[in-house]
Chain A
Amino acid sequence: MKKFRFKSIVAALLACSMLAGCTGAGTDSGSSSSFQSSETSAVSSETSSGTDEQDAGGANEDGIVFDEQGHFIKYDPPITLSTNVIVSSTDSFHEGCDIQNNGWTQWMEEKLGIKWEMKYISPDGDSNQQKLDLAFASDDLPDVISNVSVSQITKFAQAGKLTALDEYIETAPAIVRYYVDDAVNLTQGAFFSPFTVNGKKYAMPMGNESIEVATSNFLRTDILKELNMEIPETISDLDALFAAYHEKYPQGRAIAMDKGMGGIDVVASAYGAAKDAWIEKDGKLEYSYIQPEMKATLAKMAEYYEKGYIDPEFIVKDGDKVNEDVINGNVLIYAGPWYAIATPMTPMWNNLPDATTQGVPFIKGDDGTCTVTRNTWWTNCRAITSKCENPEAVFYLFGDNLDSYNRNVQQLRDTLKDEYDYEFKYPVTEVLEATNVEQVAKDHPNIGQPIQLYLYEYPEELEGCGYMNDFYTLQNFWLGFSGKFVSVANLDFETMTEALETGDESVMTPYAKSMYTEWNATHPNMLKTFAGIYEYWDELLDGKDDILQVNKFAGAATPTMTEKNTYLDKLREETFAQIIMGAKPIDEFDTYVEQWYANGGTEITQEVNDWYSSTK
Chain B
Amino acid sequence: MASTTKNTGAATKTPFSTYFRRKWQLYFMLLLPAVEVLIFNYIPLAGLSIAFQNYNPGAGGLFGSEFVGLKWFRTAFNMPDFPSIFRNTLTMAVGKIILGQIAAIIFALLLNEVGNPFYKRTVQTITYFPHFLSWAIIGGIFTDMLSSSGVVNQFLGLFNVSPIFFLGSNQWFQPTMIVLDIWKEFGWGAIVYLAAMTNINPELYESAAIDGAGRLRGILYVTIPGISSVIVMLSVLNIGSILNAGFEQILMMYNPAVYQTGDILDTFIYRQGLLDAQYSLSTAIGFFKSVISLILTLTANYLAVRFTDYRIF
A-facing mask of B172-214, CB < 8 A → 1, else 0?
A: 0000000000000000000000000000000000000000000
Say which residue of B81, B147, B148, B256 sits within 8 Å of A259 (CB atoms): B256
Is B79 an interface residue when CB atoms closer than 8 A count as contact? yes
Taking CB atoms and an 8 Å cut-off, the chain A residues in 17-50 that contact chain B are none
Which residues of A have CB within 8 Å of B168?
Answer: 313, 315-316, 581
Chain A: minimal CB distance from B75 (Å) = 8
Is B117 an interface residue when CB atoms closer than 8 A count as contact? no
Which residues of B have CB within 8 Å of A158?
Answer: 56, 58
- Contact call A562/B276, Cβ cutoff below 8 A: yes
User: A159-B59, A566-B272 given as contacts; is B80 within 8 A of A583 (CB)?
Assistant: no
Per DSSP, are chain B's interface residues mostly helix, strand or loop, or mixed? loop
- Contact call B57/A574, Cβ cutoff below 8 A: no
Chain B: minimal CB distance from A427 (Å) = 45
Say which residue of A156, A563, A576 sits within 8 Å of B278 (CB atoms): A563
- Contact call A599/B276, Cβ cutoff below 8 A: no
A576 to B257 Cα, complex, angstroms: 8
A-facing mask of B131-161, CB < 8 A → 1, else 0?
A: 0000000000001000110000000000000
B interface bracket (residues with beta carbon within 8 Å of A): 20 to 34
Chain A: minimal CB distance from B112 (Å) = 39
Say which residue of A139, A576, A595 sits within 8 Å of B57 (CB atoms): A139
Most buried by B among A130, A137, A259, A570: A570
- Contact call A577/B257, Cβ cutoff below 8 A: yes
Per DSSP, are chain A's interface residues mostly helix, strand or loop, or mixed? helix
- Contact call B170/A583, Cβ cutoff below 8 A: yes
Taking CB atoms and an 8 Å cut-off, the chain A residues in 206-254 that contact chain B are none
Which residues of A have CB within 8 Å of B80?
Answer: 567, 595, 599
A134 to B259 Cα, complex, angstroms: 25
A562 to B280 Cα, complex, angstroms: 13
Which residues of A have CB within 8 Å of B277?
Answer: 133, 136-137, 155, 562
Which residues of A have CB within 8 Å of B167?
Answer: 313, 316
Closest to B272 in A: A566
Say which residue of B81, B148, B165, B169 sits within 8 Å of A570 (CB atoms): B81
Closest to B260 in A: A574
- Contact call B58/A160, Cβ cutoff below 8 A: yes
Is B255 an interface residue when CB atoms closer than 8 A count as contact? yes
A35 to B278 Cα, complex, angstroms: 43
Which residues of A have CB within 8 Å of B58?
Answer: 136, 139, 156, 158-161
Is A560 an interface residue when CB atoms closer than 8 A count as contact? no
Is B263 an interface residue when CB atoms closer than 8 A count as contact? yes
Chain A: minimal CB distance from B135 (Å) = 15
Is A578 an interface residue when CB atoms closer than 8 A count as contact? yes
Closest to A562 in B: B276
- Contact call A130/B274, Cβ cutoff below 8 A: yes
Is B121 an interface residue when CB atoms closer than 8 A count as contact? no
Closest to A570 in B: B259
Most buried by A among B57, B58, B165, B279: B58
Is B271 an interface residue when CB atoms closer than 8 A count as contact? yes
A573 to B255 Cα, complex, angstroms: 9
A536 to B168 Cα, complex, angstroms: 38
User: A566-B271, A566-B276 given as contacts; is B256 within 8 A of A574 (CB)?
Assistant: yes
Which residues of A have CB within 8 Å of B275?
Answer: 130, 133, 566
Chain A: minimal CB distance from B100 (Å) = 24
- Contact call A316/B57, Cβ cutoff below 8 A: no
A217 to B121 Cα, complex, angstroms: 57
- Contact call B257/A583, Cβ cutoff below 8 A: yes
Chain B: minimal CB distance from A26 (Å) = 40
Name 13 A/B residue pairs within 8 A (Cβ), A-sorted: A130-B274, A136-B57, A138-B57, A139-B58, A158-B58, A313-B165, A562-B278, A566-B276, A574-B256, A577-B256, A581-B168, A583-B170, A595-B80
Interface, chain A (partner B; CB < 8 A): 130, 133-134, 136-139, 155-156, 158-161, 259, 261, 312-313, 315-316, 562-563, 565-567, 570-571, 573-574, 576-578, 581, 583, 595, 599
Q: Which 6 interchain pairs have the tightest Cβ spacing?
A: A159-B58, A573-B256, A577-B256, A574-B259, A577-B257, A315-B257
